[in-house]
Structure 1
């Protein structure tokens, strides 16, 4: 008898028995057999039997904090899924993520694929090496310095908008600029700075990756064109853009996509097709398609424009060649441009917002930084600082590093598969196929490295701590062959943005006692940051 006939003949009790048997087969049997030797490791009971615990935590938006609480309770090793062990020890970073250990990205990254696999989500070591060879030279320090003028142009545009708000604040006016709103009080403008950092980051990366900004700073609005028919858009490369576009809030799309993919990534692959039909996940899947549509529309527009002598990421991606001398195909080019859009917007805006929050909260730190900036830039006008002017300012560097420590945008432990032959980590042996991760959020709070005041924003610790211990524990860009390829660009952007903004403006918090509220998808993002801003008299 066919399986379908058997199933159709079952009554209610038989169905219940069948479901119970399936649960036992899928969850209990692997726990009993313990193929990866994880049974002895502590963790939530449900996490030992099912991926549901980690999936629920990821969907709730506070994965890093929940895993950190488990490490505080249980110690270095915590089981967070049937085949996933979190290891909160800085010594594990180089083994789990470093060169020569052979670990691979797990199937978690399959949930981040849209157009096709890019540098971030490809799991093949060979394919990753090919892609990295093409992409890595783009972010050499020499090339990154060519991008600096684009960063400066958009900072100047931001300053025009903020100066106008400050003038309204001095007069005590109220207004509605973009989605944040603003009001004047006590000689300051009070507003949510997070949307503005999003506008700045998106316009910079739009200019760098796609040849033109999204125009968010001028419109004061989160909006970007999305290719509705991706096939039509892909077909019009280098031709008149005849495909249809609609405008969507790009920042919101990016946030929805991150939350969806990070939670879908912990769902076992065999269940993902079914889970995608659930309402929350269906919304996230739409965000994945819309984000891909943003990249497709932007790349198609860029490639159909007349040739120019501008230097940007897309130009250099087009020039790149692999070992066989072959360039990227159209879909691959767009997938890599999408990777740069995601990585280059989220991290910059989130970090800039977090730095502003902590400097506004700790006034003595802000004053000390501004003293260093005034001394270094004295005699110069108060416009945008150059990278050359600020690249060696020690307190500025410490402020940025401390913010990246306490608010690492990528705080979750990125999952890696143990390769054939097994792997020894922190004195423990793990067999092939086991999934290991090292949570950045937790090791950035290791009191043995950072001191007992790990929750305090204190840049001075960067002049006090053991440099070797700090170097092996500080993990804002990950380690090894899969580390962030764009860290030179991120470093340049943060130095120039933070120096220029705090040279020009002074910030206070509306409520100094309120924590920085966050939500975590793949990245840990601020939800809002209400500040009072005024122009400084330099």
Structure 2
């Protein structure tokens, strides 16, 4: 009898506890009661979970702000914000707004096994970033340029084969093969082999995609992550299994490198040292500052974040160029002129690509139109609370800005749904306007948590796009591609055909 009573009472106690915490969140903070949003978002995270699970929250988020204004409640204690002043407060230099518990879903549940991207400890993150920021800096790009060229050569060969066969292929998938192999070369001095094999080797990309979905969704109910991770990691199809697979892969790469006798390791010139070589040399020089775990987490970060962001950005550039023929023609003219005037090498150098103003505007506009990340960058209001967009948010409230919302702000980017690179060139004559545009431009995040690999991603794009456009014509029959947003807004069916350009360019 007592057991039956307990079985009956336990669910009631659980529900009662949930309702009490819910009422506390909903009604104790008077300053937030009036903030608008979907009805069910006031009471439960389930509304947000379901919308994210649908895979198109970037568009949902834009529509929510059009309907409700600059501040929208999307969960009982989560608020999406679209306000330039608030952007600075939340993400600016010296901010005390820490990453929210949503990021817990992106790391191993063991608190001792932290990682750079989801690290919520501001001090530790800052110290780690300081140690390795030089490896990702603009000045370090010259060290990786040769690795990028090697992968671009193979990509170029694959395009030539598609042109000869006159077949459709998934250009977005091949951009990911390219980006993954570049990261392999830069980090470990060896391609993963995706460009060579032409398919997802050992299910690595699938594992990564499963990891993205798992981490994105479990982060919303982050308290379940420690319980689920252990069980789920035994299943290769699960996101937890994907994380376990990627971790093992990185550990094996590092172990293989370390197992080589030091006399057999060719560190090459400074110009062509791999990321792992630089890390191991730094560890040998100062083992207390750079530990084995630092080497591991940086290698892991490169693999997890290094392919999707670049592949999506490359896809975005090509997608919009193919849908705006005039822009494509203008860019082609700039590339062809650079070649004939002797300002463009073969292969093009990163420095030369930076001297093509229209190409720079095309890249910037494409990443505004379709940023890789499609969810708010969630942060926790620090002690003492904060005034944001005319409302007081108490300590512990979760707030965030979505790049897609900022990039579609019509007051800053008129006709925001139109791909118009000229807007960036025109703004050069109006410094105040350009300043505002740049403040809202956040495809790689903002502030101290800006994507560490941003410059490497830009390097990969800068060297590939001009090279393939000067040699190939691309076409796609699709009016609109399909995408799936699990943190990264990834195209799923970017099919294209390619043929060699019938143009002979000679330097003057």
Specify the alignment match of 1:291 in structure 2. Answer: 246
SS of the residue corresponding to residue 506 of structure 1 reads strand
Contact 2:97–2:380 (8 Å) recurs in 1: yes
SS of the residue corresponding to residue 436 of structure 1 reads strand
**2 CA distance for matches of 1:377 and 1:58?**
46
- Which TM-score applies when normalising by structure 2? 0.89
**2 CA distance for matches of 1:140 and 1:368?**
30
* 1:72, distance to aligned residue in structure 2 (A): 1.0
- Structure 1: stretches of 5+ with no match in the other structure: 170-182, 184-189, 224-247
* 1:56, distance to aligned residue in structure 2 (A): 1.7
User: Equivalences for 1:70-81 in 2 at 5 Å?
Assistant: 70-81=64-75
* 1:468, distance to aligned residue in structure 2 (A): 1.4
* 1:300, distance to aligned residue in structure 2 (A): 2.1
- Which TM-score applies when normalising by structure 1? 0.85
Distance 1:67 1:277, change over 3 A: farther
SS of the residue corresponding to residue 450 of structure 1 reads coil
Distance 1:292 1:275, change over 3 A: closer
SS of the residue corresponding to residue 411 of structure 2 reads helix
Deviations 1:82-125 (A, max 9, x none): 11111012332211111122111111111111392222111112
User: Equivalences for 1:39-50 in 2 at 5 Å?
Assistant: 39-50=33-44
* 1:59, distance to aligned residue in structure 2 (A): 2.0
Deviations 1:253-299 (A, max 9, x none): 11111111011111142676269868999822211211222222222
Matched, 1:28 2:23: yes
Specify the alignment match of 2:133 in structure 1. Answer: 136
* 1:161, distance to aligned residue in structure 2 (A): 1.5
Specify the alignment match of 2:465 in structure 1. Answer: 498
Return 463-472 or 346-355, whichever deviates more.
463-472
* 1:7, distance to aligned residue in structure 2 (A): 5.6
Matched, 1:472 2:443: no
Of residues 467, 484, 492, the one that matches 1:519 is: 484
- Structure 2: stretches of 5+ with no match in the other structure: 428-432, 504-508
**2 CA distance for matches of 1:77 and 1:274?**
33
Specify the alignment match of 1:423 in structure 2. Answer: 386
Matched, 1:338 2:300: yes
* 1:20, distance to aligned residue in structure 2 (A): 3.9
* 1:205, distance to aligned residue in structure 2 (A): 0.1
Deviations 1:67-88 (A, max 9, x none): 2211111010001111111101
* 1:322, distance to aligned residue in structure 2 (A): 13
Contact 1:383–1:504 (8 Å) recurs in 2: no
* 1:440, distance to aligned residue in structure 2 (A): 0.8
Aligned-pair Cα RMSD in Å: 2.6
Distance 1:218 1:282, change over 3 A: closer
User: Equivalences for 1:88-99 in 2 at 5 Å?
Assistant: 88-99=82-93
Contact 1:382–1:504 (8 Å) recurs in 2: no
Specify the alignment match of 2:373 in structure 1. Answer: 410
Specify the alignment match of 2:216 in structure 1. Answer: 262
Contact 1:52–1:267 (8 Å) recurs in 2: no
Matched, 1:308 2:266: yes
Distance 1:382 1:221, change over 3 A: farther
**2 CA distance for matches of 1:7 and 1:78?**
45
Specify the alignment match of 2:454 in structure 1. Answer: 487
SS of the residue corresponding to residue 448 of structure 1 reads coil
Deviations 1:179-222 (A, max 9, x none): xxxx2xxxxxx221112111111110011112211111111121
Specify the alignment match of 1:462 in structure 2. Answer: 424
Distance 1:490 1:459, change over 3 A: same
Deviations 1:495-528 (A, max 9, x none): 11111111221112112x2x12111112111112
Of residues 46, 53, 77, the one that matches 1:52 is: 46
Specify the alignment match of 1:9 in structure 2. Answer: 5
Matched, 1:317 2:279: yes
Contact 1:202–1:214 (8 Å) recurs in 2: yes
Contact 1:418–1:433 (8 Å) recurs in 2: yes
Specify the alignment match of 2:107 in structure 1. Answer: 113
Of residues 466, 481, 497, the one that matches 1:532 is: 497
**2 CA distance for matches of 1:276 and 1:64?**
30
SS of the residue corresponding to residue 307 of structure 2 reads helix
**1 CA distance for matches of 2:300 and 2:72?**
34
Distance 1:52 1:331, change over 3 A: same
Which one has a larger percent helix, Structure 1 or Structure 2?
Answer: 2
SS of the residue corresponding to residue 79 of structure 1 reads strand
Contact 1:517–1:528 (8 Å) recurs in 2: yes
**2 CA distance for matches of 1:378 and 1:488?**
28
Contact 1:257–1:291 (8 Å) recurs in 2: no
Specify the alignment match of 2:413 in structure 1. Answer: 450
Of residues 166, 184, 188, the one that matches 1:206 is: 184
SS of the residue corresponding to residue 249 of structure 1 reads helix
Distance 1:218 1:11, change over 3 A: closer
Deviations 1:126-147 (A, max 9, x none): 2112101111011122211110
Specify the alignment match of 1:227 in structure 2. Answer: none
Distance 1:38 1:291, change over 3 A: farther
Q: How many residues align?
A: 486
